Amino acid sequence: MSDPVSALNGARFDGIASVEEAGLCGMITLRGDFASAGFAAAVNSITGAALPEVGRIAEGTEGAAAWMSTDELLLMVPYAEVEARLAALNEALKGEHALAVNASDARAVFRISGDGARETLAKVAPVDLSAEAFQPGDFRRSRMAQVAGAFWLNGEGTFTVVCFRSVGEYVFKLLSASAHPQSAVGIYKA
């Protein structure tokens, strides 16, 4: 079988923040009824995470679960295990009104790290990314310039950005331009 390759093969740009393609990430789109106990148990069995609160991402021992909308979750698991986890998830969801799909190869994932990370993203997304408003564990679906994307912040101040693979190159160039070394605005003091 052919080797899976990520959208930009680990491209990287260093400026006021470092933008790098994160490589292959396993992602499962899951829709269903959040109020059902069986649904929450199935999510927990696959990722080790609890159901995330609105607009948050819940980290688990085996992966993570992010709140996409009132009936949709994005489950993050290791790329190599995604098919096995999906099968286990479908097994755990037996009898539930739910749908799970492997969306790993439909996506590109980037990481933005460094002091200018908040500013780099804030320049291209209509979101308040100040330290008070956007905190570690917050997850937001929005747009980046002209395309849809989602991002969250981890405890080390690194953003992870998810977008469609078809616009991966656009998003990388966009974030690189936004992280240009001479483009610092300095609105978010570290």
Q: Residue 100 in contact with residue 91, Cβ under 8 Å?
A: no
**Is residue 176 within 8 Å of residue 120, measured between CB atoms?**
no
Chain-centre distance for alpha carbon 187: 24
What letter represents residue 5's amino acid? Answer: V
Binding segment for another protein (CB under 8 A), chosen from 17-25, 61-69, 77-85, 158-166, is: 61-69
* Nearest one of 109, 108, 119 to 15, comparing CA atoms: 119
Q: Are 17 and 23 in contact (CB under 8 A)?
A: no
Out of 1, 35, 37, 54, point to the residue binding another protein (CB under 8 A): 54
51 binding another protein? (CB under 8 A) = no
Among residues 56 and 165, whose Cβ is nearest to another protein? 56
Among 95, 126, 155, 186, the residue binding another protein under the rule CB under 8 A is 126
143 touches another protein by CB under 8 A = yes
68 binds another protein (CB under 8 A): yes
Give me the residues that bind another protein (CB under 8 A), please: 54-55, 67-70, 72, 126, 140-143, 148
